């Protein structure tokens, strides 16, 4: 690769966070608990007993964080709205104080020329909907319960009516795979259930929730409103070309990616997925008309990518490297795929133990470009955790993160050069935050946060990224920053 690599004019350079991971203020302004409050307060679920009660106190440091984004020259900020902050219990009228926080945040972004990209759901379901007493369904509440999809559409309408005049870019769901299969399958994410059928039901109802919310957004937003979804499609590789390894790859690809892209892009669940899971469920929870709702035309597709997934046939099922939260679950997040083994490819790893492989990002972009021709793509998350520590002067040198970002941006550039309609990139994350089942032990930020004082310090990678955003090009790696 010859550097610098120029990106197309208008390429969007952003950074991302999510509500539960950064806001804190968990009991303020009428906010009720989400499933992540309940889960993180349950002993043994999150490393170190960490919770998002305070997180990085973004709720109270909005102004400081806006100034930080402006100083980094960000073109866009991807954040999520906390459902239980704006609609406690997940039903009924909105709480004005909750909406006010996001209105001020958005106005602060617009005043600084930063495009707000709003995600409606980044995993913080109101706890009352999980423990739903209204549904009376045998499978309990939450996403396995069909009514949750309708509740989500109502919530989407509330937020769109409040902020639709100033936010153009709307994402319905972030990574529904994690919500369904880590939340209800392996149980390493909230609400911590382990039931393969509940996970499949959840996946369908998340798809349905996306479609119903997309309709609600179209109805409430001005014509310029843009509707997208962020998926974490897996870059699945077979360990060999042996037929049984390719079969393992096919199964995991169906459960990780095509279970979402099938209905979203083509209006159908893949036949092989239905066959692979037929011993578990007849999928009768998919009702007439659902697939038409789900296939609602998207304005863009968000792709979140961190690491590839390498599989083979086998049962030597060490906890899958990419899919185990802390306190590795005994339960698989892959319903019906009992004879698949997961492998850690050789080479560099991040502090998550995730292997560094930018080709996986290139492969996914080219795949989505082929499967959804003409659909603009955004990388809505990409980044890495490393064990960053401030030096004696308080500076944080994170050459591994710079190398990681450099390699992945080069892969994105290669996809662009080969025709992928990639419009922007969001670094995960703007700042260190609550990393779900890992608590505060894993730092993904471009900005370092001292979790005691809440002091923010841009790492070397933040300065490096600001320069990429300013120049719209990827420079050669400077000496001392080893390419991964």
Choose the catalytic residue: 23, 381, 400, 435: 381
Helix (H, G, I), strand (E, B) or coil at 126: strand
DSSP H stretches of helix in 112-170: 127-130, 147-163
Q: Which CB sits closer to ligand PNW, 124 or 247?
A: 124
Q: Side-chain half-sphere of 81: how many Cα atoms within 13 Å?
A: 38
* CA dihedral (394, 435, 207, 260) positive or negative: positive
Closest CA to 212 of 181, 242, 173, 163: 173
Integer Cα distance of 484 and 1 in angstroms? 14
Sites of contact with ligand PNW (CB under 6 A) = 18, 21, 174-175, 178, 232, 304, 322-323, 381, 428, 435-436, 444
- DSSP one-letter string for 311-337: EEE-S--PPPTTT--SS--SS-SSTT-
Count Cβ atoms below 10 Å from residue 427 Cβ, excluding itself.
29
| Least distance to ligand PNW, CB of residue 18, Å | 5
Q: Which CB sits closer to ligand PNW, 164 or 233?
A: 233
Please indicate whether residue 381 is annotated as part of the active site.
Answer: yes
- E strand or H helix at 403, and its extent? helix 399-417
| Residue showing the smallest CB distance to ligand PNW in the complex | 323
| Least distance to ligand PNW, CB of residue 57, Å | 17
Residue linked to tokens 């961190």? 306
Integer Cα distance of 282 and 164 in angstroms? 39
Q: Side-chain half-sphere of 147: how many Cα atoms within 13 Å?
A: 16
| Least distance to ligand PNW, CB of residue 382, Å | 9
Q: Which CB sits closer to ligand PNW, 221 or 447?
A: 447
Q: Which CB sits closer to ligand PNW, 381 or 388?
A: 381
8 A C-beta contact, residue 209 and residue 201: no
Closest CA to 413 of 337, 454, 465, 358: 358
Q: Which CB sits closer to ligand PNW, 172 or 304?
A: 304
Q: Which CB sits closer to ligand PNW, 102 or 428?
A: 428
Integer Cα distance of 439 and 49 in angstroms? 8
| Least distance to ligand PNW, CB of residue 96, Å | 27
Supply the DSSP symbol for 90. G
How far, in Å, are 129, 138, 150, 199, 483 from residue 141 at the CA level? 6, 9, 13, 12, 47
Token pair, residue 70, equals 């402006």
- E strand or H helix at 456, and its extent? strand 456-458
Q: Which CB sits closer to ligand PNW, 178 or 203?
A: 178
List residues with catalytic annotation: 381
């Amino acid at each position: 690769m010859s550097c610098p690599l120029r990106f197309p004019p208008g390429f969007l350079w952003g950074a991302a966070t999510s509500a539960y991971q950064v806001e804190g203020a968990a009991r303020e302004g009428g906010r009720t608990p989400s499933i992540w409050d309940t889960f993180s307060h349950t002993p043994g679920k999150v490393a170190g007993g960490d919770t998002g009660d305070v997180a990085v106190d973004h709720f109270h440091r909005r102004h400081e964080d806006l100034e930080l984004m402006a100083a980094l020259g960000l073109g866009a900020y991807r954040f999520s709205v906390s459902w239980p902050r704006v609609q406690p219990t997940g039903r009924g009228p909105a709480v004005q104080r909750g909406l006010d926080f996001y209105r001020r945040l958005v106005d602060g972004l617009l005043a600084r020329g930063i495009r707000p990209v709003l995600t409606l759901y980044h995993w913080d379901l109101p706890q009352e909907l999980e423990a739903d007493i209204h549904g009376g369904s045998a499978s309990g509440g939450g996403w396995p319960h069909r009514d949750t999809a309708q509740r989500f559409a109502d919530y989407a309408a509330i937020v769109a009516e409040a902020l639709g005049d100033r936010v153009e870019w709307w994402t319905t769901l972030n990574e529904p795979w994690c919500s369904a299969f880590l939340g209800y399958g392996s149980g390493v994410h909230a609400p911590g259930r382990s039931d393969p059928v509940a996970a499949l039901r959840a996946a369908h109802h998340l798809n349905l929730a996306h479609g119903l919310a997309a309709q609600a957004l179209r109805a409430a937003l001005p014509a310029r409103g843009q509707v997208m979804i962020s998926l974490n499609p897996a870059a699945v590789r077979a360990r060999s070309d042996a037929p049984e390894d390719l079969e393992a790859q096919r199964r995991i690809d169906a459960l990780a990616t095509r279970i979402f892209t099938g209905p979203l892009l083509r209006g159908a669940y893949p036949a092989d997925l239905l066959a692979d899971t037929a011993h578990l469920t007849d999928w009768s929870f998919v009702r007439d008309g659902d697939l038409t709702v789900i296939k609602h035309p998207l304005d863009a597709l968000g792709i979140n990518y961190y690491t590839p997934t390498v599989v083979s046939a086998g049962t030597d099922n060490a906890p899958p490297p990419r899919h185990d939260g802390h306190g590795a679950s005994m339960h698989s997040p892959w319903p019906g795929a009992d004879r698949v083994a997961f492998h850690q490819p050789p080479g560099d790893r991040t502090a998550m133990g995730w292997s560094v492989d930018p080709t996986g990002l290139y492969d996914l972009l080219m795949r989505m470009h082929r499967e959804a021709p003409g659909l603009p793509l955004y990388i809505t998350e990409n980044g890495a955790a490393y064990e960053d520590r401030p030096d004696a002067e308080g500076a944080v040198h994170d050459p591994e993160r710079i190398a990681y970002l450099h390699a992945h941006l080069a892969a994105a550039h290669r996809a662009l050069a080969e025709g992928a309609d990639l419009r922007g990139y969001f670094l995960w994350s703007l700042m260190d935050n609550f990393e779900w089942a890992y608590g505060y032990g894993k730092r993904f930020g471009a900005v370092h946060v001292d979790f005691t004082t809440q002091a923010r310090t841009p790492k070397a990678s933040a300065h490096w990224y600001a320069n990429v955003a300013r120049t719209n090009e990827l420079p050669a790696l400077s000496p001392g920053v080893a390419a991964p």
